[in-house]
Amino acid sequence: MHPSAPLLVFDSGVGGLSVLEGIRTLLPQAPIVYAADSAGFPYGTRKAAEIEARVPALLGRLVERYDPRLIVIACNTASTIALDAVRAALDLPIVGTVPAIKPAAALSRTRSIGVLGTPATVVQPYVDRLAADFAADCTVLRHGSAELVELAEAKLRGETGELSAYRRILEGLLGQAGGEAIDTIVLACTHFPLVQPELEAAAPRPIAFVDGNAGIARRTAWLMRDEGWPETAGEGIALFTGPAPEAETFRLGLARFGLCRIETLQR
Ligand code: DGL
């Protein structure tokens, strides 16, 4: 691999930046292409079949364009639905992002866990399997929120959401029968760690919020352990599949994650 070959970090929008942060800490020299499928955003309200067709095709185009060493699908919705299809279509290492139910089960004292994801993710059989395999002795309640995804995107554009909106979203989980016992919430959408301070402020009691981002960074670094990197960290690229003016609204937010160049997919 050429030292300038990048890691490709992919999400429907800016949520995957929460995953990128941990990767940059462990692999500071790695060239990064962060790809946001803004033309397809949001994934969380799409049908599974659409995502299963769209994601491998789009990643195929991005592989042709950037020739990455590895792809991180920094999106729970895409990973829980299309990970197998992507692995079957592409011949390079693929790291997925799936709800951190296992670490949440290890942490919960009340044995009651909440899973907060997109509407598409929380109904996936993949989540049923994670709950059965790793949290069989826990009550696992789920809530899908497309609004929380929008709040995270807005925060990256520098807009502040009302705390009452966060309270209402949490109530969708904690207000369910048995929700009063939840002491641990899995942030099962990569957008949500971006608004974790707001969720903590809105929570009616101390609740642990758990995501899988540190594990994804460790897995990525391990897979890349024998790779050579450029001497100095290059500028990261943010690629948007949708229109450039919309991408521009994220410029300042992206720069905080080391992504100073914006590209779009139009040729
Ligand atoms: N960030 C994505 C996830 O982890 C989904 C956001 C969306 O609805 O597009 O699930």
pLDDT tens per residue, range 9-61: 999 999 999 999 999 999 999 999 999 999 999 999 999 999 999 999 999 99
- What is the reported pLDDT for 172? 98
Q: 240 C-alpha to center of ligand 1: Å?
A: 15
- 138: annotated active-site residue: no
- What is the reported pLDDT for 235? 74
Task: Assess contact for 87 and 55: CB atoms under 8 A.
Answer: no
> Within a domain: residue 124?
yes
Could you tell me what percent of the chain has a pLDDT over 90?
A: 95
| 3-state class percentages of the chain: helix first, strand second, coil last, to nearest 5 | 45, 20, 35
Give the number of the atom of ligand 1 that is nearest the alpha carbon of residue 41: 9
- What is the reported pLDDT for 2? 77
Number of domains comprising the chain: 2
pLDDT tens per residue, range 115-166: 999 999 999 999 999 999 999 999 999 999 999 999 999 999 999 999 999 9
Give the number of the atom of ligand 1 that is nearest the alpha carbon of residue 44: 8
**Is the model's pLDDT at 83 over the cut of 90?**
yes
For residues 242 and 113, state if they share a domain: no
- 260: annotated active-site residue: no
CA–CA gap between residue 168 and residue 199 (Å, rounded): 10
Evaluate: CB of 11 within 6 angstroms of ligand 1.
Answer: yes
pLDDT tens per residue, range 114-126: 999 999 999 999 9
Residue type, 144: G
- What is the reported pLDDT for 234? 67
Per-residue tokens: 141: 């309640």
The pTM score is 0.97
Choose the final residue of a domain: 211, 235, 251. 211
- What is the reported pLDDT for 30? 95
For residue 263, the cross-strand partners are: 239
CA–CA gap between residue 90 and residue 88 (Å, rounded): 6
Range of the domain at 182: 104-211
For residues 104-110, give the mean pLDDT: 98
Task: Assess contact for 180 and 174: CB atoms under 8 A.
Answer: yes
- What is the reported pLDDT for 267? 52
- What is the reported pLDDT for 4? 85
For residues 18 and 50, state if they share a domain: yes
For residues 20 and 39, state if they share a domain: yes
For residues 165 and 226, state if they share a domain: no
Residue 42's domain is classified under what CATH number? 3.40.50.1860
